[in-house]
Amino acid sequence: MRDYDEVISFLGEWGPFQRLIFFLLSASIVPNGFNGMSAVFLAGTPEHWCRVPLSANLSSEWLNTSIPREVRGGREVPSSCRRYRLASLTNFSALGLKPGRDVELSQLEQEPCLDGWEYSRELYLSTIVTEWNLVCKDDLKTPLTTSLFFVGVLIGSFVSGQFSDRFGRKKVLFATMGVQTFFSFLQIFSTSCEMFTVLFVIVGMGQISNYVVAFILGTEILGKSVRIIFSTLGVCTFFAIGYMLLPLFAYFIRDWRMLLLALTVPGVFCVPLWWIIPESPRWLISQGRFKEAEIIIRKAAKTNGIPAPAVLFDSTEIQDMKSKQQPKAIVLDLFRTTNIATITIMSLLLWMFTSIGYFGLSLNTPNLHGNAYLNCFLSAIIEVPAYVIAWLLLRTLPRRYSIAGTLFLGGGVLLFIQLVPADLHVLSVILVMLGKFGITSAFSMLYVYTAELYPTLVRNMAVGATSMSSRVGSIIAPYFVYLGAYDRFLPYILMGSLTVLIGILTLFLPESFGNPLPENLSQMLRVKGFKNRQHNNASISKKDGEIPRTLITAL
């Protein structure tokens, strides 16, 4: 019986129909770049200090010295969370005493910001931090809000595959676009941090679901030779384009509500795509809806100017497809033997630590020296050459050396940042961007590598499990950024160490480049250094030795 690729081979690989699907689905990812990194500016924390009310009746000298000074980031700035006790300052001011001459400031009592805060407007007119005073004792709410957004991403990545398998790729794609756009719009009217955060969780669910389903739909419609390009230079590059446009919007729109409105509007322009992007013929065939699949294929042939065969599916093929039963697997199959369990655990750690590095560096751009908007733009634009390099490495070099090499590059330069002299700010930013380049390259290669390690029986389950592990990493990442408030080098030391560590572990994983895809668990390659255990292989072969090989739709 012919497979799907053989059935549609007459369409060609890169006709007008394929180009249209490639660019429209890739373009639908652009709003994901907005929402995925919008917390960088929506939750930005400007410099702040305690408000001193006019009712304190302080002289100009005492008003100017009412906030203690502290050294932060190599420079002296006003304290963010403490002020000198106003009752004492009022008395000194009334008595005509002078600060520093008549009264030693170091001996004065201090108190928290009882009257709120003043915020610098150099970078932002307003953010959710300034709106609801998420500073000092409440400063942990800022990374928590971002972290809960990624909790929504985790939930969305879990349910999107289930829904698209049941209801269809196209319906779920546009439904999740609607969720992302509608709830992002509702966030504009948030009246509290709690309301904003709950809506942000739902936006996260829609954001990743849109991305995943567009990825699946594209790989199922496009031909074999185009799939790897689509999965790297397609969806990834257009995500980076959205990410690049984010600081441009934020630079001209400094109020968080208006910025969020501007980032929401582009999602509305995706609505007309409903009448252009088709359902996946593969999914329709899997549901036994052959007539609908045939209509789409014939329409694609017409778009490409190619005559379609008189008969696409004969009755024998239809009967075979309907009766074909796929073997079932459970999560425990990913831990069946010591070798398989070791590969799975190492893969989970690889995805998690790489995700921590990627999102940690992305969210930390406002804390770099220099212009926050320019740094965010550089962080986005560096992803484009990273995806190109990843694509070239996937085509020519072994997987584990490619991934380990880019991880060593990314992690190594992050560890060197602490050695840069304090006055060489530009060099520090260059090293951060080089670290982002290496980690992004490695991150974009993980889908292909993981899919090649596992056999058909558990391939989708393995990719799903490791992808969810990366979501756990993104949930943790905002707290790495938060540690920079205590030591600006600490996030880089932690992220660099974890990245180098997982790069070393990657060298012990099997090499899949140039090897045939495993058809069953007994054919999985072995972790380097593990001895072959015949009894494990024999027990596995009895269960799944006859599993048929199928197409990897993720590639």
Q: Please state the domain extents for the chain.
A: 1-46+130-324, 48-119, 327-555
Q: How many angstroms separate the CA atoms of 166 and 251, rounded?
A: 42
What mean pLDDT comes out for the span 405-417? 92
pLDDT tens for each residue of 109-149: 888 988 889 998 988 999 999 999 999 888 889 889 989 99
Split at pLDDT 50, 70, 90, the class of 323 is low
Has residue 530 got a pLDDT over 60? no
Query: Among the ranges 239-243, 306-310, 321-325, which has the highest mean pLDDT value?
Result: 239-243
Q: Which fold has domain 327-555?
A: Growth Hormone; Chain: A; (1.20.1250)
Which stretch of DSSP H or E encloses residue 48?
A: strand 48-50
| pLDDT: which is higher, 94 or 209 | 94
Contact assessment for residue 246 and residue 306, using Cβ atoms and an 8 Å cutoff:
no
Nearest CA to 291 among 309, 313, 307?
A: 313
Contacts for 394 with CB less than 8 Å, ≥ 6 apart: 228, 232, 402, 445, 448
Per-residue pLDDT at 210? 77
Angstrom distance (rounded) from CA 170 to CA 162: 13
Report the alpha-carbon distance of residue 354 to residue 357 in Å, rounded: 5
For 55, residues 6+ apart whose C-beta sits below 8 A from its C-beta are none
Q: Is the pLDDT of residue 405 over 90?
A: yes
Evaluate whether the domain defined by 1-46+130-324 bears CATH number 1.20.1250.20: yes
Do the domains at 1-46+130-324 and 327-555 have one common CATH topology? yes
Task: Give 70's strand partners.
Answer: 77
Helix (H) and strand (E) counts in the chain? 24, 6
**Residue 306: which pLDDT band, with cuts at 50, 70 and 90?**
confident
> How are the residues of the chain apportioned to helix, strand and coil, as percentages rounded to the nearest 5?
70, 5, 25
Whole-model pTM: value is 0.81
Phi, psi (deg, nearest 5) at residue 269:
-70, -10
Question: Cα–Cα–Cα angle for 101, 107, 111, nearest 5°?
Answer: 120
How many residues are present in the chain?
555
In this structure, the strands spanning 117-119 and 110-112 are unpaired
Contacts of 482 (CB under 8 A, 6+ apart): 139, 140, 142, 143
* Alpha-carbon span 232 to 215, nearest angstrom: 10
* 316 class by beta-carbon count within 10 Å (0-12 exposed, 13-18 middle, 19+ buried): exposed
Confirm if 92 and 99 have CB atoms less than 8 A apart: yes
Locus of tokens 């380097």: 528
Lowest mean pLDDT among 23-32, 262-271, 310-319: 310-319
Instruction: Measure the N-to-C terminal CA separation of the chain; round to a whole number of Å.
Output: 22
d(CA 66, CA 83): 6
Provide the token pair at 54: 């006019």
Token pair for 536: 């494990």
